[in-house]
Structure 1
Amino acid sequence: MFDISIITIGDEICIGQIVNTNAAWIAGKVTSIGANVKLHSTIGDNRDSLIDELNRLLPISDLVILTGGLGPTHDDITKNVLCEYFGDDLVLHNDTLKYLKKIFSLRGYHLTERNMEQAYLPSICLVLKNEVGTAPGMLFEEKGKFVISLPGVPAEMKYIMNDSVIPFIKRKIAERNDNVVLYKNLQTTGIPESKLADMIGEPKEFLGDGSLAFLPSYRGVKLRIGVSGKNFETAREKLKKIEKVIFEKAGGNIFSADDESLVSKVGSLLSERNLTVAVAESCTGGLLGAEFTSISGSSVYFSGGVIAYSNEIKEKILNVSKDSLVQFGAVSEQVAFELARNVRDIFKTDVGIGITGIAGPTGGTEEKPVGTVFIGLAFGDNVKVKKFVFSTEREVNRERAVGTALTMLLNELQNNE
């Protein structure tokens, strides 16, 4: 199999200033085409660390992918370290210089000496074009092993990966005619991990030499199937057989077999049926609305929402009865009912969702502890409200409320086809 290791470079990643999303994205991309990810490594902007990692990982990998350290500032050391590692020198790459001049001219900027440094590249590398930024990628070969260096900026890294690196890896896998590794994700929602495991039973009975992982999140449990085979066809057949068994055992809880997110699935169903939705949020503070609008084109079905954090806004904007607030409290079945119904009527949508709860860490009582959330769903002429008690952690409660609201809507859409 074609083994890949990933090194992300940057002090900001090491100290936790930013999250390392590059490694996760790269790993997902290369495994989807049959490569095997050996390991991830994160290092600071340090010459010795990079050389040590290359010495450690190149012998056990077919390809090492680096991200970061290709900018024009003093802490961007990757090019110089790679020159040292491969015994090479930087030379002016004329095509890159022409591209930089063109980009800076279009932006109305002067190309400084510091910016020109990005046109100096190792003489032995294959230059990988970057049409969304100023730092090109670089590909090195050493005794049948490869090193690819990419910018740390996610958009630039993704462009070069899709344009140059993925086709390169596909060619190498095909040339070797070696074992490939494939993964398939089945998305579930509305069922706890333990109950899902009970439904599926003992994986050894149907996995063969494959693998099955349970990956819980606030939106549901992802089932990741992994298989290997001597070629793509063999691996795909193994995947299909395992997938078929899992669907037979737990298909009612699986909403996607192609990595579609929960909110994307809900949006697709709303769009297919020409339905619209509006939201009234209290404890989630706009998270549900943000989830809907994270999908491009969601304006087709998502009309808008109101963040009604105070009782005054619940009354004045969403027409929640003052009597309901006084008698039952803001966190109650009745108020969730009115939030869902009224936001639907005000926005003139087909669906209304109302969320009210105690996110914490303060505000809980014996009767209504922290984590108590009421979610109302107005669908057509019907309004349903469910009560949940999640956890004592504020962000967990907010995220779980959003995931649960989406699951309620998904179930309603599937049950009213």
Structure 2
Amino acid sequence: MRALRWLEARYRRVLAQLGYEYPPYYMTITEAAMVLLTIGAVAPRVLAGPQVAQWVWLAAAIALSLVHLSASLVSARSVSITAHTAATLGVAMLFWCVPTTFDVVPLMLVLGITQVAAVCTPRVAATHLAVYLAVVIGAGLLGANHQAWLIVLTVCFGAAVGQLLQNQLLLLRAERRAQAARTALDRAAIAAEVHDVVAHSLAVVLLNVTAARRALESDDDRAEAVEALRDAETQGRTAMKDIRNTIELLRTDGPGSAQPGLADIPELVASFERAGLAVTLDQRTSSTALAGTSGLAAFRVVQESLANAVKHAPGAQVAVTVEARERRGLAVRVACPVPDGARRAPGGTGLDGMRARVESAGGTLTTGPVDGTWLVDARFPAARPSPTVRQETPS
């Protein structure tokens, strides 16, 4: 078991040097097959009783095979595909110097070119294949092997198998990258949804808590403080419910799951107004002006903008305008007075998330100070009318 673990670690390191993530047992199987083929090439030649000179060729072939195998196992340097090809072809030519009836040397060549093609680019693999074919054809012309044309076909088949293995690995690698990208997008979507819900809810809760504190500090008005705290509690419970609904929506992605849209903007503004934010709403659009992601994006723009007003400009008068224009789409504007020289605080992600949401719905977003007012201006394209099918009654 220790030897197998050592082999697995060694082959994993070799594959990492080559830049491929094949399972280590791939190399274990191919190396074991090469050893068995070498034994299969030696045995019939030894049993046939070679001449004295042929023993030299056999000994050289065995020695070269052992050196090649040992180098692949213990060498700490980078793997050389050229050395692998040279050793494989050298062993084959040495074996062919001792003819035999039953010969497995062609299978050694097939396995060797398969190993090469599995870890090389098509151009490099084609170069090695050309060398393999040149050796096979040359040996055939010299009479060292029989049916050289059949060996050529099998070697080409081995190269094709190696390229297929590599293509399969590359497809698997691309699938993993795509899965990682989808996971990252899912995490970003979850983060954006939770951020929108929590930021809005905490802003309203803080407004209510502040109102309660001021009521107790200034007028000792317990009734007003209790009412503000009750609103904060209600908003907190609503926030918990919204978070659960958001997580469930992201988990199931059901088509019937309700999401906020244009029709929910008045209630959203009213919740901030009840909490003490000075905000006005001018909405001139029907609830069906936008649908799907565009309506949700418009709602989130207003929600994030009001939460930012509570955070960065407490006590300021905020104006929200939602206007639908025929053929021009929908315009969502949130204006909030800011002191001169005010800039966006570093480290925030709300505006970036808002812009990404608007652009994903096909719209554009402009933010920044204009004449002492922080302006958030989102524009969404008009919804395309559904195509109508004209039906003609048969005459």
Per the normalisation by structure 2, the TM-score is 0.20
For the pair shown, which has the larger CA radius of gyration, 1 or 2? 2
Query: Between Structure 1 and Structure 2, which shows a larger proportion of strand residues?
Result: 1
Query: Between Structure 1 and Structure 2, which shows a larger proportion of helix residues?
Result: 2
